[in-house]
Amino acid sequence: MTNTVQASIESTPPDQTRGDLKLPIYLDNQATTPVDPRVLEAMLPYFTEKFGNPASRSHRFGWAADEAVQTARTQVADLIGASPKEVLFTSGGTEGDNLAIKGAAYAGKARGNHIITVVTEHKAVLDSCKHLETEGVQVTYLPVQKDGLIDLDQLVGAITDRTILVTIMHSNNEIGVLQPIVEIGRVCRQRGILFHTDAAQSIAKAPVNVTSQNIDLLSFSGHKLYGPKGVGAVYVREGVRLSPIIDGGGHERGMRSGTLNVPGIVGLGKACAIASAEMSKEACHTAGFRNRLRDRILGSLDGCYINGSMENRVPGNLNLSFARVDGQALLMGLSDVAVSSGAACTSAKLEPSYVLKALGLSDDLANSSIRFGIGRFNTEAEIDFVADRVIEVVSQLREISL
């Protein structure tokens, strides 16, 4: 969705150090996270010693793999308040969104052909909905308010007797805003409408409970919570039926065929187990650093604006716009910091972030935005270094533009 610009490190060779700091500093944890060493340790045996196919039921290699998969299924379920049998494994968040949205639409077409979503959703959601529109499904795209939150009255007003699915993300990947999931789920549950949420940016960062939050379908990806890339999960509430979008051997209760990625699934399960044990402490850690970064920057620079609600936000996200600064020049100036821009470069043309535009930002402010993603392994010294670098570079660019 955003264009991750890890500034050309030509002027800052990899692993360069400055004092006690190792450069470049990684503050793009919404894009992806490093694999936790504990996760890697859990995965390694399943590449070599325990390499069996969990669908092989006639020997111990298959049994060991299947046992590992079931353990991971329980670990995922425990994190989100589900039953293990309600967890399906996928290749990641994009496939999960496609399966939940298209699968629900195909399975429910006898009941209706209307879906409700939000203009600030991830492209995996928006493009799935656009695909369904080509097949005759009607889609309503709700706007957001200036703080990035939907208006619940608008959601209620958009529901028709043909509405079969509402898909609204748990938290936004650019601005980190947490939607009123409990209330959205309650509206859907009262009307017999399925509620899907893309929780890729919330899992392991904010409490997610499919029961108390009235969620029917939930998708997320392993690499956003210190697990491996190429693996994810979909929660499908018991009794909910999805039409598969991948046909084959009938794996995962017939809803997602294909040989399971056992090492990846083991890693995802371990990442979820770590999150279950440490999420509260980690949230305090990342929120504290996020606030420290925010206060240092805003305390030294004028013309800086926070994008999205600060009250309803995942702990490690900070999205700022800098007036009177070119966003690409700012990124190039921050050559020793890995961050993301709210602007996406498509077809060699700079386009402002559709998420920030939906909040009402001008093109200039949207193009000058930076997303800082603070994670598990960042340190206070790194936060202070980044704050000082942002202040320095923004000040220099403003002087040049005078």
**Residues with active-site annotation:** 345
Query: What's the DSSP call for residue 122?
Result: -
DSSP code for 85: G
316, amino acid identity = G
Token pair in block for residue 140: 């309503």
**Contact yes or no for 55/249 (Cβ under 8 A):** yes
277 burial class (0-12, 13-18, 19+ CB within 10 angstroms)?
Answer: exposed
CA 293/CA 295 separation, integer angstroms: 6
Work out the number of other CB atoms within 10 angstroms of the CB of residue 211. Answer: 12
Give the residues across from 372 on adjacent strands.
Answer: 318
Q: Tokens 């190792």 map to which residue?
A: 22
β-bridge pairing 138-142 and 114-118: parallel
Task: For CA atoms 43, 47, 50, 53, give the dihedral sign.
Answer: positive
CB 79 within 8 A of CB 220: no
Helix ranges (H only) for 50-92 are 60-80
The single-letter DSSP state of residue 259 is -
Three-state DSSP state, 150:
coil
